[in-house]
Amino acid sequence: MVGIIGPRPDLAERLNDSRFLLEQGAALATGLSAAIAALALTVPASPRPLRLLPVAPAAFWLGTLGWGCLHDARAGWMQIAPDPACLFYIALIGVLPAVLLVLMLRQGAPLAPRLTIGLAGLAAAALANVALRFFHMQDAALMVLVWQVGSVALLTGLFGLAGRLFLPWRVLTRARR
């Protein structure tokens, strides 16, 4: 996607900005840890604390954005405008990691389908968000928090609700094959 749309013009400058790097790193860590937690959930008797793996990076991600909000507010940049394109892009970019993850998860045991698929949604959406920020010119922390993290949360919730749809225990006839 980044290749197709082309990177944002100020990417080199952004890559030197510690706040941008910190936010991207936290989002990446959230995505990866959510993917690991989702995969671990499909292995019976895997250590239970693994499912809490993304909590710390997600908290750190929200923390960096919250801190960014305060910083922006002091600089007088605090404003919010509708930016629904974020949701569209995150959903579009997230399709690929989401499909891959769901295919992998279906090889495992659906012990907690809602939580597993919810975590997969979080992983896909967080990774999509990392990609999004490489071409989408939106750095105001509040905007990122509301529109990008909001989209990630929305997609995570929707995925979680559809958990049993994506990860059912197979029925008798198919299991017998």
Partner 1 sequence: MSGRRTQADPTNAMRLEDLMQRAQQGDARAYYMLLLRLSQRLRRMTARRAPWLAPEDIEDVVQEILLSVHQARATWDPARPFMPWVAAIARSRLADHVRSDVRRTAIARATTDLAVTFQDPRANHEAETVVNLLSMRKALLDLTPAEKQAVDHLRLRELSLLQAARTTGRTVPAMKVAIHRAMRKLKSILWKG
Residues interacting with partner 1, by CB under 8 A? 42-45, 107-109, 111-112, 169-170, 172, 175
How many whole angstroms separate alpha carbon 6 and alpha carbon 136?
10
Nearer to partner 1, 75 or 175 (CB): 175
Nearer to partner 1, 66 or 108 (CB): 108
Smallest distance from partner 1 to CB 98, Å: 21
Smallest distance from partner 1 to CB 169, Å: 6
Residue ranges in 8-149 assigned as alpha helix (H): 11-15, 18-41, 55-75, 85-105, 113-135, 141-143
CA distances from 48 to 31, 37, 126, 146 (A): 19, 10, 23, 31
Smallest distance from partner 1 to CB 26, Å: 30
Smallest distance from partner 1 to CB 81, Å: 45
How many whole angstroms separate alpha carbon 177 and alpha carbon 170?
11
Nearer to partner 1, 36 or 91 (CB): 36
